[in-house]
Amino acid sequence: MVRPTSRKMVCVVDGRGGGIGSTIIKKIKGHFGESVETIALGTNAIATAQMLKSRANRGASGENAIVWTVARADVVIGTLSIMLAHAMMGEITPKMAEAVCGCAATKLILPISQERVDLIGMSDTPLPYLVETLVMDHLKPLISAHP
């Protein structure tokens, strides 16, 4: 797929109410403005709508939209749950989890999950700090390296 711009395509995947995805998109837009194409990918329409309110460039909902779009992304961002089949109370389908894990995009994953998964060695860092670290320490170098 040829995109109309040379901007990096950053997909933010979230479900349920879209709150974490919205926080991430606000931070990306606040730092990069329109130099990054931000795509809101919600497991449901409510999550997508919330992320679009945070100024995502485009958005789509559901399994096929997530599977199709992450395959074309430069960067995929979300919580650990987007890589776990049946996470988010079943909203993450096996196809979604496989698409995220298997896509060629760089994946920036926040170590947050409401699933019965413990990441050993992780601290209880507050979400605002995690998002700041994600954007400034991990996404910024990827965007800056873009020609």
Mean model confidence pLDDT for the chain = 92
pLDDT reported for residue 113? 78
Beta bridge partners of 75: 10, 106
Pick the CATH number of 8-140 from 3.40.50.1360, 3.40.50.1220, 3.40.50.970, 3.40.50.300: 3.40.50.1220
80-99 tens-digit pLDDT: 999 999 999 999 999 999 99
Spell out the domain ranges in the chain.
8-140
Beta-carbon contacts of residue 102 (< 8 Å; ≥ 6 apart): none
Whole-angstrom distance, CA of residue 71 vs CA of residue 10 = 11
Cβ-based burial of 72 (10 A; exposed 0-12, middle 13-18, buried ≥19): middle
What tens digit of pLDDT does each residue of 39-86 get? Answer: 999 999 999 999 999 999 999 999 999 999 999 999 999 999 999 999
What is the model's pTM?
0.92
Q: In what order do the strands lie in the sheet with 8-14?
A: 58-61, 36-42, 8-14, 75-79, 106-110
